Chains A and B, each alone.
Chain A
Amino acid sequence: MKNIWAICKKEIKTYFTSPIAYVVITVFLVLIGFFFYSLIWWFNSQSLQMAQNQYYYQQLNINQMVYSPLFHNMSIILLLMIPLLTMRLFSEEKKRQTDELLFTSPISVNQIILGKYFASLFVLLVMLFLTGILSIFVFSYGNPELAPILSGYLGLFLVGAAFLAVGIFFSSLTENQIVSAILTFGVLLLFWILNWASYSAGGMWKSVLNYLSFFQHFDDMTRGILDTTDVVYYLSFIFLGLFLTYSVIQSRRWR
Chain B
Amino acid sequence: MIEVENLTKKYGDLVAVKNLSFKVEKGKIWGLLGPNAAGKTTTMRILTGYLPATDGKASVADYDVFEKPNDVKKITGYLPENVPLYPEMTVHSYLNFVAEIKQIPAPQRKEAVEKSVEISGLETVRRRLIKNISRGFKQRVGIAQALIHNPQVLVLDEPTIGLDPAQIIEIRQLIKSLKGKRTILLSTHILAEVTQTCDGVVIINEGNLMASGSLEELTASFKEKEGIVIRLKKGGKSIISLLQKILGVDKVSAVGDEFKIEWTKGKDVRDDITKLIVDKELGLIEMRPLAMNIEDLYLKVISGGVEQ
Contacts and interface: CB of A to CB of B under 8 A. Distances in A.
A10 B85 contact: no
A211 B201 CA distance: 63
Interface in B94-113: 97-98, 100-103
Contacts of B86: 10, 14, 96, 98
Contacts of A14: 86, 88-89
Contacts of A97: 80, 82, 84
A3 interface: yes
Given A253-B52, A255-B11, A98 B85 contact: yes
Contact of A105 (B11, B80, B88, B101): B101
B51 interface: yes
> Interface extent on B, as a size class?
20 to 34
A106 B82 contact: no
Contacts of B145: 101
Nearest to A102: B101
A255 B76 CA distance: 24
B198 to A, nearest CB: 22
A7 B74 CA distance: 17
A196 to B, nearest CB: 41
B132 interface: no
A227 interface: no
A104 B78 contact: yes
B74 A104 contact: no
Nearest to A98: B84
B73 A104 contact: yes
5 contacts: A3-B103, A7-B101, A96-B84, A101-B101, A255-B11
Interface of B: 11-12, 45, 48-52, 70, 73-74, 76, 78, 80, 82, 84-89, 93, 97-98, 100-103, 145
Given A14-B89, A98-B85, A101-B80, 16 more contacts: A6-B100, A6-B101, A10-B89, A18-B88, A96-B85, A97-B82, A98-B84, A101-B98, A101-B145, A104-B50, A104-B80, A105-B98, A106-B74, A106-B102, A254-B52, A255-B12
3 nearest A-B pairs in the assembled complex, by CB-CB distance: A101-B84, A6-B100, A98-B84
